[in-house]
Structures are given as C-alpha cells and as structure tokens.
Amino acid sequence: MKLLVTRPMTARATAALQARFEVAFRDDTPMDATEARAAMQTHDAILPTLGDDFGAAAFQGELRCKVIANFGAGTNHIDLDAARAAGIAVTNTPDVVTDATADIALMLMLMTLRRASEGERLLRDGNWIGWRPTQLLGQEMTGRRVGIVGMGRIGKAIARRCHLGFGMEVQFFNRSTVSSLDIPARQVPQLRDMLRMCDIAVLAVPGGAATRHLIGRPELEALGPEGYLVNIARGDVVDEDALIAALHDRTIAGAGLDVYAREPDVPQALLDAPNATLLPHLGTATDETRSRMGLRAMENLLAVAEGRNPPDRVA
C-alpha cells in the first residue's frame, strides 16, 4: 500500500508506519484541495490531519485512494459525503485523544480564572514590582459550577476531573440523553439555561455544520459578566466576532481558548483582550498522545490493507 502522510509524525509513529507501508511524509504545511486531489490520484491511502482540505473538490476525478485515515478525532476538514460517493473509507482516532484534551481544558480553566497569562506578561515585560495584596486577583476554581457543552468521551473526562479534583458542581448540555455517569452531574435540556447556571462553560462538542456558531451573543449573555468560557472543541463552534465583543465589553469575565475559527489566523482584537488566555491548539500535544494517534491511524490502514472493516470508520 502506497501511503502519503501529510505531516511529520513522532519518532515512534514514523518508525511504525515505515515498517509497514511504502510511505512518504510531507512537511508541516497544510494541503489545499488541489494537492489533496492529486495525492488521492497517486496514493492508495492518505493519513491527513486538521487543516488539510479534503472538501468536495478534492474528490473529483479518477482516484486511486481507498482510505483516508485521519490523524485526529475531528473530521470536519473532510467531506464525508463526498468520500462515501467516491467509495473511499474515512477513519479517525477516537479514545486516544481523551485524556490529553481533558487535561488542557483544566489547564485553561485554571489559567483563565487565576489570570495566569496576564501575570506572565507582566513578569516578562519587566513590569512586576513585587508582591501586593490586591495584584491580579482572580477566582478560585474549587467548588465552582462548571457547565460542559457536549458530554462525549472528552466531556465526561473533563467532568470527572472537575468533580473529583476540585469538588465542582457539574451540569451539562447534550443533544441526546446521557446516562451511566460515574460522578454526580445534571443534564440541562436547554443550552442557555445551563449557561445561566454555571460559572465556567467548557465546550467539548464535535466540529461541523451542526455545531457551527453554537455559541453566539445570546449564549454569551446567558453566561454573564461573572462567567468564563473555555473552548477545546473547534474554533467555529463559537462566533468569534461575538466572543471578541463580549470580552472587550465584559459581557463575560474571560475566556480560555485552544482553538480558533480561522487557524492559524487569530484576530488582533482577540490577542489584545487582556481577559483571554490563548494557546496554539495544544490539546493533544504530548509525545505519548500523538504517538498513540499515529498508531491508531495505522491500525485502520492495516485493516483496509487486509480487507477488514477498519475499527474507527466514520464514512
């Protein structure tokens, strides 16, 4: 099987892929639709990731490719309907991303409530004049009310950390009924009602058309001037312009973001917001997790190569 991997992988994943496939690796630049289509015309399999454009235009013409094994759980950069129509299997890498992504959510919560980014800027800019009783007063996380939007694997892992680690009261919004939770948590039927109830809202929903701009101005107003928003899902789940306005006019107290609507472009007005903690999409950025993602993608590729149904097929 002739495989194209669209980005460099960890040493462990690279060695495993090289041992099993005729494989070529690209550099760290995303593929546009023209490059994606050309790759599918010359390779049996593609291992792409977020930022590579596998929209409908990439599936035009005669294609050699039989499987797209996405590196990541989210597949909103791949047109799944176009892939089905072209007879190309699409897989993802669930489960292995859960813990690292949940950890980054907790880190953003703590950084935002405790104003860690503001403090670091103050120190690095040489403006810290020493300890003062009222300097950069933030909010404690222990005992707060957290609201989780999307109670899948990652949402449940965040809820567990919040409850067990910080004694937080957990409520959540999910479009389908969630049962068999191993911690106390209340499902709230309406999103805005849940946002009114919580101190911190954490977004953990999949990306795509169904969740685009799920959080807009009315939802931010429901969260309120003492509420914080954390997004570790996809950038376009939030109306970014509405969020920028809400941060600057203090409609909400602050935000912690790992994802953005038009990555890697981040609006200057968002960079200028002092009450925003901003990370460069670090959700799964540990060597262990990124290696497991590569190996999980390889399992799906091997299944297709051996004529089996891939375990993580999404299209």
Question: Where in the sequence numbering do the catalytic residues fall?
Answer: 234, 263, 281
139: phi then psi, degrees, rounded to nearest 5:
-125, 145
Q: Are 188 and 175 in contact (CB under 8 A)?
A: no
Which tokens sit at 117? Answer: 């980014």
Residue 268 has, within 13 A of its CA and on its CB side, a CA count of 0
> Distance between CA 194 and CA 186 in Å, rounded?
10
- Which residues, 6 or more positions from 130, have their beta carbon under 8 angstroms from its beta carbon? none
The HSE-up count of residue 176 (CA atoms within 13 Å, CB side) is: 4
H or E segment to which residue 37 belongs: helix 33-42
Question: Quick one: which of 160, 159, 158, 112 has its CA closest to 136?
Answer: 112
The string of DSSP codes covering 235-293 is GGGB-HHHHHHHHHTTSSSEEEES--TBTTB--HHHHT-TTEEE-SS-TT-SHHHHHHH
